[in-house]
Amino acid sequence: MLAASRHFREDDMATDGTDASSIERHALAATLDNFTVGVIIVTHGNRILYANRAATRMFAGGRPIRAVNGRLSTRDPAATDQLGKAIANVLQRHSGLGTAGSGVPLGSPLDGFAIAHVIPLARAELTRETVSEFTAAVLVTRAADRPAVDVAPVADCLGLTPSEARLVEKLMIGATLAEAAAALGIAGTTARTHLTHVFSKVGVSRQVDLVALIHHLVPPVQKPAVN
């Protein structure tokens, strides 16, 4: 089930793997596999049509979401019920949610903080017979998933120096200013000076605001591996 869920179902794909629609599907799947957010495409009854790599890892661990008999679920019956209702509302297109969708808290504190964002998608032509059905995207984010952030493009945008960018990169993974200074081998006063300059360039006055701003600017994708 898990291997199959990584792709659109085989019987939903065109027989000729070189046709344009098939190439588009595979390109989309490859792109979504780079997302750190779990992306699951579902239809009525929480039936899973597709799940990206991040989502299948969640399925394998059983937290905060599960794939049970090909349907999206959670360990918490109440959360599963709420998620199912949110999906049904979006699919019905009569809930007044528009394109905003809805957010559903998942699981218990033991599972870590997680949210499922359910948003509507256009009718999808997924089969050889071009039978249309409404679909929804479920985007699952977890507080525990804090990947390394590639701040280089953001640093260029904000006009940060290399030293300032290295400091910001440490802060983005949760280090305190003192921990970042120690990791970079610089004095605490130097780190404070760098941070003051960053604040001035970015237009914020608190470290938490700086981190929040940069998180808004970086894409939710895996940081490229360094060879």
Residue 101: helix, strand or coil by DSSP? Answer: coil
Domain end (from 114, 142, 170)? 142
Which helix (H) or strand (E) covers residue 50, if one does?
strand 47-51
> Do 160 and 128 fall into the same domain?
no
156 and 138, same domain (yes or no): no
Residues 123 and 160 in one domain: no
Q: What is the 3-state composition of the chain as percent helix, strand, coil, each rounded to the nearest 5?
A: 45, 20, 35
- Residues 8-22 have pLDDT tens digits of 443 443 444 457 777
> What was the pLDDT predicted at 111?
62
The residue with greater pLDDT, 201 or 99, is: 201
Same structural domain, 51 and 82? yes
Asked whether the beta carbons of 125 and 24 are under 8 A apart, the reply is no
Give the end of a domain, one of 142, 176, 208: 142
DSSP-derived 3-state class of residue 182: helix
> Are residues 26 and 57 located together in one domain of the fold?
yes
CATH of the domain at 186: 1.10.10.10
Q: Is residue 224 assigned to a domain?
A: no
36 and 115: one domain?
yes
Q: How many angstroms separate the CA atoms of 155 and 165, rounded?
A: 6
Tell me the per-residue pLDDT of 149-194, one tens digit each, with 9 for 90 and over.
Answer: 678 888 999 999 999 999 999 998 888 999 999 999 999 999 999 9
CA dist 52 and 179 (Å) reads 35
What is the token pair recorded at 75? 């360990």
pTM beyond 0.75, yes or no: no
- pLDDT at residue 144 above 60? yes
Tokens encoding 27: 């390109």
Whether the upstream peptide bond of residue 64 has omega within 30° of 0, thus cis, is yes
3-state secondary structure of 32: helix
Residue 225 lies in a domain: no
pLDDT of 18: 57
pLDDT tier at 39 (50, 70, 90 boundaries)?
A: very high
Kindly state whether residue 122 falls inside one of the protein's structural domains.
yes
Comparison of pLDDT for 134 and 119, the residue scoring more: 119
Residue 110's pLDDT is 64
Within this chain, do residues 191 and 101 fall inside the same structural domain, yes or no?
no
Instruction: Return the amino acid letter for 202.
Output: V
> And the tokens for 58?
């969640």
What is the residue range of 7's domain?
2-142
In terms of domains, do 136 and 157 share one?
no
Report whether 191 contacts 184 (CB < 8 A): yes
Number of domains in the chain: 2
Clarify whether residues 12 and 90 are in a common domain. Answer: yes
**Same domain as 15, residue 70:** yes
**pLDDT tens-digit map of 52-92:** 999 999 999 988 999 999 999 998 899 999 999 999 988 88
- Based on the domain organization, do 91 and 47 belong to the same domain? yes
